[in-house]
Amino acid sequence: MSFFLPPHPYPPARHEGPPAASARWRRAGGPPDVVSRTGSCDHLATGATTRGDYGLYRWDMGPEPSGPSPHVHRTISEAFFVLSGVVRLHDGTGWADARPGDFVHVPEGGVHGFRNESGEPASMLILFSPGAPRERYFEGLAHLSLGGERPSDEEMAEFYARHDTWWVGD
């Protein structure tokens, strides 16, 4: 019976000693970490809080059209899980509607993008692995969306490169 076969190896132990009360709560209903013209973002688990293992963010989009064009990340994978509404996801071959419960994983170097074009609010979880510091990226984009000073094209290119975002077009 396969139930009794040895499991694939687990990673080495990272905690020795007595059990610890170290869970981190983030209760529903608190203010978002980032607010932009078209939505908000909650930093559920940052790379800093997960020792670089992953970053998990909830992205709530308003009814206005929003979201990045197709791009790649060279150092991180990204995954999307739609919680509510309809989100258009690009999987490297084209755009398709994703609905609550739909999940897409994009390995490093995989072309992807997302948009809310439905005219209704939408929400999804975004997971990055390993846990890159995406908070500054989201904060920078929100600042621009709220009418912050627009950097030069060269400064924007450097901002995107610093945050491992490489545009590939539609």
SS3 81: strand
The β-bridge relationship of strands 34-35 and 39-45 is antiparallel
- pLDDT above 70 covers a percentage of the chain that reads 98
Give 3: exposed, middle or buried? Use CB within 10 Å, 0-12, 13-18, 19+: exposed
CATH no., domain 33-167 = 2.60.120.10
Provide the 8-state DSSP code for 3.
Answer: G
- Report which DSSP code applies to 26: -
Token pair 């940052």 is found at 46
Quote the mean pLDDT of the chain: 94
pLDDT in tens, 56-110: 999 999 999 999 999 999 999 999 999 999 999 999 999 999 999 999 999 999 9
What residues does each domain of the chain span? 33-167
Judge whether residue 54 has pLDDT over 80. Answer: yes
pTM > 0.85: yes or no = yes
Please determine, for residue 1, whether its predicted confidence score (pLDDT) is greater than 70.
no
Confidence of residue 170 (pLDDT cuts 50, 70, 90): low
Residue 9: what pLDDT? 87
What distance separates the 2 farthest-apart alpha carbons in the chain?
64
